[in-house]
Amino acid sequence: MTLSAALKTEIVETILTSTPEAVVATDERGSIRLMNPAAEKLTGWTAAEALGQPLETVLRLIEEHNGAAYGDPVPLAILKGAPVHLDRGLRLIARDGRELEIEGSATPNGLGAVLVLRDVTLRRWEESQLRQVQRLEAAERLAARISAEYATLVEQIRHQADHLLGHFGEYAPAREAIEQIQRTAAVAAQVTRRLAAFGTRQISNLEELSLNGLLRQMMKVIESAAGSRVAVRIQTDSETGRVHADRAHLEQAILNLILHACSAMPEGGRLNIETRVRDAPWQGRLYPCAVLRVSYDDARSDPARTLDPGGADDSGLAVPMAQSIVTEHRGYLLASSGSGRTCLEILLPRVPEEPLPAGQSVKSILMVHNHDRVRALLHNFFEANGYNLIEAASTAEAVALGQLHEGPIDLLVATHPDVDAILTELREAHPRLDALRIVDQATAAACEIQHPFTQQALLARVQSLLGAATFSAA
């Protein structure tokens, strides 16, 4: 039975509409005469807008290795009289600025050419991460084996050096040389221990953590590691959310990246640490991930070599060890560079959160207390109850954190003498900031709470104040 022209057209339209691949047809001059819905999604152009446009206007193809324009593949396909394959190394710049890795072909026909394209960004990402994990696993196995073998040799050297020292007098000429052997063996023992840790680390104490809270708790350590020559800027996004992680191991991964960044700036520079949210491939789909981004002045680093255990530079295994920790948390560690700066990013899958009721937002509280354990306990408690708690150990730290914080801070909780000084410094950045004062005597107003108090009592008072339309901090 012969199909009618109308039926053939309907079948073709159905195929074009349902296929997941982008299909673009051009005339012999390279002007677009047809685009299917998948091509609209890929390019960001509607079929009506693209009709009659030059192909290069809608399909902006660049070569990945040098960023040069690839050009229009249609004339080459027509010249060859055969399909031109668009393989690895091509990116498409969508209308909204997205860069997508694509592959496909351009096939000539009597009226021009037909291009069939696939977005392979997700697949390439997963392939890249798999290669990194495989290299890392190989390096970990090698490190574990070497550390075990060398630990025995180093211990024998140390033991024999101790034995020799026992046979020489205090002023024997050989004593200094033997002591140098001991010192060198001690350094070698430290290296083997680091190799053993790199090859055998396993996460064991998972808990729900806030990246923002963890970063705030590490602020003093970060500033100490950076030193006076490095200008540190910390910027957190309140939407970053929480992750499942081993606190000690994640702290070590973050500190490793910071130490690596500082070692790349021996003469000083700028170190920016930020948190944010972005979608990343995870278990075969795009999933919201919490991101911790460390960027620093360094125009010399090769991003690929930075993550390669075999290409470790003067900072040793700091970055590969951080990558090992992140990988064990089912996350990614990415490296990139540009404009004289290098960027390292930790991506961890974010813990799903219950959506807030319409019109509500997460309230931010600035808490000042001089005991570390109290702050850590209150941080976990308040975040578990739906608040973003920013904790500080002193008035100066509270002012610094308040000035760094993006978005509003709804409430300050501090001892009575500190409240006015903090409010004065932060009024310009947070004009609606009010305070709950911690007092030693019986409370005289709703904006006071007597010390000592339980965390439940503090939560109840905070809820009461933040739930009210207005209250006075005076």
5: pLDDT confidence band, cut at 50, 70 and 90?
low
Query: Quick check: 152 and 188 in contact, CB under 8 A?
Result: no
Predicted TM-score (pTM) of this structure: 0.56
Q: What is the pLDDT of residues 407-465, one digit of tens each?
A: 788 888 888 778 888 888 888 888 888 888 888 888 878 888 888 888 888 888 888 88
Coil/strand/helix, residue 49: helix
Q: What is the CATH number of the domain that holds 293?
A: 3.30.565.10
Together in a domain, 241 and 141: no
Q: What is the pLDDT of residues 310-349, one digit of tens each?
A: 555 445 577 888 888 888 888 888 888 877 888 999 999 9
How far apart (Å, rounded) are the C-alpha atoms in residues 434 and 226?
Answer: 34
Choose the final residue of a domain: 70, 101, 119.
119
Q: Angle at the Cα of 21 (from 15 to 26), degrees rounded to 5? A: 80
Residue 357 domain-assigned (yes or no): no
**Token pair recorded at residue 159:** 């033991």
Query: Quick check: 234 and 219 in contact, CB under 8 A?
Result: yes
| The pLDDT of residue 201 | 55
CA distances from 340 to 45, 162, 234, 296, 297 (A): 34, 50, 20, 9, 6
Together in a domain, 194 and 214: no
**Number of structural domains found in the chain:** 4
Together in a domain, 143 and 237: no
In Å, the largest CA–CA distance within the chain is 110
Q: Angle at the Cα of 324 (from 323 to 326), degrees rounded to 5? A: 60
Residue 356 domain-assigned (yes or no): no
How far apart (Å, rounded) are the C-alpha atoms in residues 181 and 39?
Answer: 69
Share of the chain above pLDDT 90, in %: 12
Together in a domain, 371 and 413: yes
Together in a domain, 389 and 303: no
**Token pair recorded at residue 61:** 């193809």
Q: What is the pLDDT of residues 166-184, one digit of tens each?
A: 776 665 677 777 777 877 7
Tell me which residue range forms the domain holding 110.
5-119
How far apart (Å, rounded) are the C-alpha atoms in residues 462 and 85?
Answer: 63
Q: What is the pLDDT of residues 207-221, one digit of tens each?
A: 888 888 888 778 878
> Which of 385 and 199 is assigned the larger pLDDT?
385
337 DSSP 8-state letter? E
Q: What is the pLDDT of residues 121-154, one digit of tens each?
A: 877 777 776 666 666 666 666 666 667 666 777 7
Residue 472 domain-assigned (yes or no): no
Q: What is the CATH number of the domain that holds 169?
A: 1.10.287
Over residues 273-285, mean pLDDT: 81
Rg (CA), the chain: 30
Task: Please name the amino acid found at residue 384.
Answer: A
| The pLDDT of residue 451 | 83
> Which of 296 and 163 is assigned the larger pLDDT?
296
CA–chain centroid gap for 404, Å, is 19
Together in a domain, 155 and 287: no
Residue 252 domain-assigned (yes or no): yes
Together in a domain, 226 and 329: yes
| Cis peptide bond N-terminal to 73, omega within 30 | no
Over residues 2-17, mean pLDDT: 70
pLDDT for 469 beyond 60 = no
- Residue among 432, 390, 425, 386 nearest 410 (CA): 432
Q: Name the helix (H) or strand (E) containing 290.
A: strand 285-297
Q: What is the CATH number of the domain that holds 419?
A: 3.40.50.2300
How far apart (Å, rounded) are the C-alpha atoms in residues 307 and 337?
Answer: 13
Q: Name the helix (H) or strand (E) containing 459.
A: helix 455-467
Together in a domain, 270 and 299: yes
Residue 354 domain-assigned (yes or no): no
Query: Quick check: 231 and 270 in contact, CB under 8 A?
Result: yes
Together in a domain, 313 and 370: no
pLDDT for 97 beyond 60 = yes
**Token pair recorded at residue 362:** 């997460």
Mean pLDDT of the chain: 80
The b-or-e profile of 253-271 (16+ CB within 10 A means b, else e) is bbbbbbbbbbebbeeebeb
How far apart (Å, rounded) are the C-alpha atoms in residues 60 and 70?
Answer: 8
Residue 355 domain-assigned (yes or no): no
How far apart (Å, rounded) are the C-alpha atoms in residues 268 and 262?
Answer: 8
Residue 139 φ/ψ, nearest 5 degrees: -65, -40
How far apart (Å, rounded) are the C-alpha atoms in residues 463 and 208?
Answer: 23
Choose the final residue of a domain: 200, 233, 256.
200
202: pLDDT confidence band, cut at 50, 70 and 90?
low
| The pLDDT of residue 359 | 53
Together in a domain, 265 and 325: yes
| The pLDDT of residue 8 | 64
| The pLDDT of residue 196 | 66
How far apart (Å, rounded) are the C-alpha atoms in residues 119 and 59?
Answer: 13
| The pLDDT of residue 234 | 85
Q: What is the CATH number of the domain that holds 75?
A: 3.30.450.20
Residue 473 domain-assigned (yes or no): no
472: pLDDT confidence band, cut at 50, 70 and 90?
very low
Together in a domain, 323 and 343: yes
| The pLDDT of residue 23 | 92
| The pLDDT of residue 470 | 37
Residue 102 domain-assigned (yes or no): yes
pLDDT for 309 beyond 80 = no
How far apart (Å, rounded) are the C-alpha atoms in residues 410 and 432?
Answer: 7
Choose the final residue of a domain: 200, 217, 234.
200
| The pLDDT of residue 473 | 38
Together in a domain, 234 and 298: yes
Over residues 248-255, mean pLDDT: 87
Q: What is the pLDDT of residues 180-201, one digit of tens each?
A: 787 777 777 766 766 666 555 5
